[in-house]
Structure 1
Amino acid sequence: MSRYEDVSKAIEQTFVAKFPKQNLATFGITAIDYFIVTEPIYTAFDSTKKDLEAVVRKGKVVAGKPTLITPTYALHLQGFSDDAYDYMRNISRIYGPNSPAIMYEYENKSIGLEIVSGIASEVANRISNDLENQKNDLSVVIVGIDEFWDVSLMKFIYEFTASSIEYNAREMRDKGLLEPQIGAGGIPRVAADQIEEMFKSVENGGNPEILKIELDKWGVYKFYEDRFLRFFK
């Protein structure tokens, strides 16, 4: 079996025993306690251990504050393939260069690992019940494959993000943050507000180069050019 097939199988066999009861925060950081329960890989070589022990990996997934981007902004992000940039250019043509989208960034903070007695699914249920009793609403219990436990975690992150997007977008829309700002080249209000804060920072001694980079990323330098150049007069 190829590595790709192994990963695909791991994804198929991964399931969430307990899903967080809250969405990702729209205007702040979200920290999710995770518990990934797997059957130890060594049971493949020692069948006497099968169904007797489980591996529990603990950690936190920290989601940064969701960030609004546009196709123009995405085209200035580094580290993607030519195909990815072609895709964003196509999105720009279809929906417009300033059509808003939400970008999420995650950090995995591993805490530790322990071997416990019991079948993986039963251990997962015990942990889930304990978390419910503790009223830990921002926690997840995942049953996965030992060798690909991080793939199981990524699958959860993808599904959790997908389940939160509509909620986050609605909150941003309700606050008017997605409204295009004509005087700022049509970028969403949240981006225009961010640029205003950066101008204030430069006025107070901040680095104008950082501001220039941000203006270029949003593709709106020409709308702010006169104001920007006044810093050098």
Structure 2
Amino acid sequence: MHSPDDIQYAMESTRVLLEPDRRIDTFGETRFEFLLLSELMDSAGKIRIRSGEVEALKPQIVRPDGYSEIELEGFTDKARERFDAMVEKMRAQGQDLAFLNYGFRFKRGQVNEEIVHDSLEVVRDRVMEAERIAGNPAKAVIEGVDDAWEVSIFKFSFEMILRSWAINRFDFQRRGLL
């Protein structure tokens, strides 16, 4: 398990280089594809590219305050511990986590890995250019930390929740659910 400092470092180091055009649907499922770039810890000039998808599943229920949790499917128990530590760190920083009451559930699909022998800057530029040309509205490109890469995926997921929150709240209010 990673220490709180490792998790904090991963959160601070993670950058979303390309954000998906869409947001998390309030009453449906939303699938995001990702490319996660990370430099191998003990190997200069080696970059790991992880590709996969994260799905925000349809919320099932609005939960009372005491039952606020995000469900994670396809993530390991260690990932759950990392996620919980990240949430506690965000709470300690005073961030508003009211959105946790809305039954968000995330499912991680299979993740593929590739090692590229080049500098991070060159790989980043090449990947970003390829993604600009492809124009996939559901694609995210993330730069993160290799050994705590799931923290980078969690941070991206949290950012998508936060960016979607205003639209989701409006949809809930419009239907009389808030």
SS of residue paired to 2:147: helix
Distance in 1 separating the partners of 2:148 and 2:121:
17
Identity %, equivalent residues: 26
Detail structure 1 runs of 4+ shifted over 6 Å in the superposition.
none
Structure 1 residues 21-60: aligned runs within 5 Å: 21-43=21-43, 50=44, 52-60=45-53
Q: 1:104 maps to which residue?
A: 104
Matches within 5 A, 1:87-126: 101-126=101-126
Question: What amino acid sits opposite 2:31 in the alignment?
Answer: A
Measure the CA separation in 1 of the matches of 2:63 and 2:3: 35
Q: How does 1:1-233 map to 2 (within 5 A)?
A: 3-43=3-43, 50=44, 52-71=45-64, 74=67, 101-174=101-174, 176-178=175-177
- How far did 1:10 drift? 1.7
Distance 1:60 1:10 in 2: 20
Instruction: Give the SS at the match of 2:102.
Output: strand
Alpha-carbon distance between aligned partners in 1 of 2:16 and 2:125, rounded to the nearest angstrom = 10
> 1:23·1:163 contact (CA, 8 Å) conserved in 2?
yes
1:65-86 per-position Cα deviation (integer Å, ceiling 9, x unaligned)? 13441417938xxxxxxxxxxx
State the Cα deviation string for residues 128-186 of structure 1 (Å, max 9, x = none).
33222222111111111111111111111111111111111212323x2426xxxxxxx
| 1:38–1:73 CA distance, 2 compared to 1 (3 A) | closer
Is this contact kept in 2: 1:40–1:146, CA < 8 A? yes
Alignment check: 8 A CA contact 1:59 1:111 kept? yes
CA-atom RMSD in angstroms: 2.2
| Alpha-carbon distance in 2 for matches of 1:18, 1:24 | 16
8 Å Cα contact 1:66/1:104 also seen in 2 = yes
Corresponding letter in the other structure for 1:58: S
SS of the residue corresponding to residue 27 of structure 2 reads coil
Match of 1:218 in 2: none
The two structures have a TM-score, normalised by structure 2, of: 0.73
Matching residue's letter, 2:11:
I
Q: Look up the SS of the partner of 1:136 in the other structure.
A: coil
Q: Structure 1: how far apart are the matches of 2:171 and 2:47?
A: 41
Report if aligned partners of 2:31, 2:138 keep a CA contact under 8 Å in 1: yes
Structure with higher RCO (Cα < 8 A, 6+ apart): 2
Distance 2:166 2:30 in 1: 16
Question: Given that residues 121 and 143 in structure 1 are in contact (C-alpha distance below 8 angstroms), is that contact kept between their aligned partners in structure 2?
Answer: no
| Contact kept? 2:63, 2:103, Cα under 8 Å | no
Shift of 1:110: 2.6
Tell me the TM-score normalized by structure 1.
0.57
SS of the aligned residue for 1:24 comes to coil
More helix by share: 1
The 1-side partners of 2:47 and 2:54 are apart by 22
User: SS at 2:155's partner residue?
Assistant: helix
5+ residue gaps, structure 2, are 69-100
Alignment gaps of 5+ in structure 1: 44-49, 76-100, 180-233
